Amino acid sequence: MLVRLLIAISDPRLAERLANAPTSANLLAERADRTASLADYRDRFDPDLILIDSTWVGGPAQLRRLLPNLRRADKSRAQPEIVYLATHESPDDRAALIAAGCTTVVDAAAGDGTVEAALNSLVDRHRDQAEQLRDTTNPLEQFELGDFVSHSPTMARFMKIAHRVAKSTSSVLILGETGVGKEKLANAIHLAGDRRERPFTVVNCGAIPESLMESELFGHEKGSFTGAHRAHRGFFEMGHGGTVFLDEIGEMPPHLQVKLLRVLQERHVQRVGSEAPIDVDVRLIAATNRDLKSEMDAGRFRTDLFYRLSVVTLTIPPLRERREDIPLLVDGYLRRYRTELRATAVRVSDLAMKALQGYDWPGNVREVMNVIERAVLLCDGEELRVADLPEEIASGHVPKDVKPLIEKAAAPLAALDANWFEQPLRKAKRAWAEAFERTYLDAVLRLTHGRIDKTSSRAGIDPRSLYAKMRRLGLRKEDYKRGRGSNATKRDGDGAD
């Protein structure tokens, strides 16, 4: 970010020299004059560092009284550093100033080099503190390009391009449906580049009211509009030296597209209410789920801005086009939420995984996260099952190759006496219950190919009880082995072993 320095010293030669210090690439300096108070400058210029000499304020006692008025009302932001250039002050004066909130006291007689060195040190320290405070108050999950694990050839080609793009400073346009991970990719590109130690500033253009977007992006001066009680830094100033990610760029109104284009071309911003440009150094990554070609044809998105943004265009394929990645994602999020939620689920059943792979995932990776988190919460055992999945996924969970088995297994129900309703309730109920129990176990045995451990786990009964039921119903595990044709038929007196 740019560090803003307010210089309130009486020596014009030194003031000019400090305003053009070697740190000027990351420093925005303003020289105060006597026409306004330092409190006014605090509201108008919003300084991070204030350099004051004894002549300007009239001595250490006057500075101690002034210090409370120089602090920001916004406690979430780092407070200005106050540097006092002292002449003939005693050790007691120095101690009193430090106790009152002055950051440091520099002896003016030590020479300009000492003053510049102290200033450079404070610029670096304040920038680091501000970025640490930003990361603490607005934590951002960190992603790396290596996190994008995939078995998809399409995704492999995509990630190869992303790795090359990360090493450059060119603007990038990321396209893709909602939930495919556009912000995650932008963050990973930032962390893989040379700006990884600098800010990654996320701006959701669709979440900012149009009336506030210009101010939020480019900043405003005090008094530039009703309610502008102090100066405000925009996202581009805050992101100086790093990467600015403009999510949902397609939501930006046309008049701000012009201003953004100027920022990209001229590398400076102009605050609302100001005529002075502020140089900024940012890498821009933009993203949208809209079809920008159609938006340009309709006149809602500027063609020149599109080509300026899309030096490199990355289109993330939707999940339905790379279904081979679904098990990887499911297993990864299962491990994550099992730990976070302290849940019991440790695996996904084969049928549940088939259901997950058969679903089209309109919400893409974000929907996978939500579904697995919900399923882990609902699961009451070690295996996540179809019953733990949302209805829209569970309802289509039976794969095509399994449906004929289910239909065949249901035959005993269809073969019941058509006049069952003329029988006494108890007798009809018993007949239906036995037919259903056999149909159910027959179907599960077909799906597990006669594996007693898997069948008992699915059915929620212990293996001994399962064997007893199979004997009673004339079901033999051997008839369900792979390659045996699963021709289970009732055999009076046959065992299940």
- Whether residue 368 contacts residue 178, with contact meaning beta carbons closer than 8 Å, is answered with no
- Residue 393 structure tokens: 């996924």
Mean pLDDT, each 10-residue run in order, the chain (497 residues): 80 79 66 80 80 84 84 69 80 83 79 73 66 49 74 87 91 93 92 90 89 88 76 88 94 92 92 87 94 93 94 92 92 92 90 89 93 92 89 68 58 58 76 81 85 85 89 88 51 40
Q: What pLDDT score does 493 carry? A: 38
Q: What pLDDT score does 487 carry? A: 46
* CA angle at 410 for the pair 378 and 387, rounded to the nearest 5°: 5
Q: What pLDDT score does 22 carry? A: 55
Pairing between β-strand 3-8 and β-strand 49-53 as defined by DSSP bridges: parallel
Q: What pLDDT score does 497 carry? A: 43
- Whether residue 267 contacts residue 236, with contact meaning beta carbons closer than 8 Å, is answered with no
Helix (H) or strand (E) holding 50: strand 49-53
Q: What pLDDT score does 410 carry? A: 57
Q: Is the pTM of this model over 0.85?
A: no
Q: What pLDDT score does 290 carry? A: 92
Query: What are the C-alpha distances in Å from 405 to residues 153, 353, 448, 485?
Result: 34, 19, 12, 11
Neighbours of 103 (CB within 10 A): 18
Residue 275 carries which side chain, given as an amino acid letter? E
- Whether residue 255 contacts residue 212, with contact meaning beta carbons closer than 8 Å, is answered with no
For residue 384, the 8-state DSSP code is E
The DSSP bridge partners found for residue 3 are 27
Q: Is 446 exposed, middle or buried (0-12, 13-18, 19+ CB in 10 A)?
A: buried
- Whether residue 273 contacts residue 228, with contact meaning beta carbons closer than 8 Å, is answered with yes
Find all residues with CB under 8 Å of 264, minimum gap 6, and list them: 171, 284, 305, 308, 309
List phi, psi (to 5°) of 104: -155, 155
Interatomic CA distance for residues 193 and 199, integer angstroms: 12
Q: Residue 348's closest CA among 367, 372, 325, 364?
A: 372
Helix (H/G/I), strand (E/B), else coil: 274? coil
Q: Residue 475's closest CA among 439, 428, 429?
A: 439
Helix (H/G/I), strand (E/B), else coil: 42? helix
Interatomic CA distance for residues 198 and 316, integer angstroms: 26
Q: What pLDDT score does 244 carry? A: 95
Interatomic CA distance for residues 268 and 274, integer angstroms: 13
- Residue 265 structure tokens: 């071309």
Find all residues with CB under 8 Å of 183, minimum gap 6, and list them: 202, 245, 247, 287
Find all residues with CB under 8 Å of 382, minimum gap 6, and list them: 344, 345, 346, 347
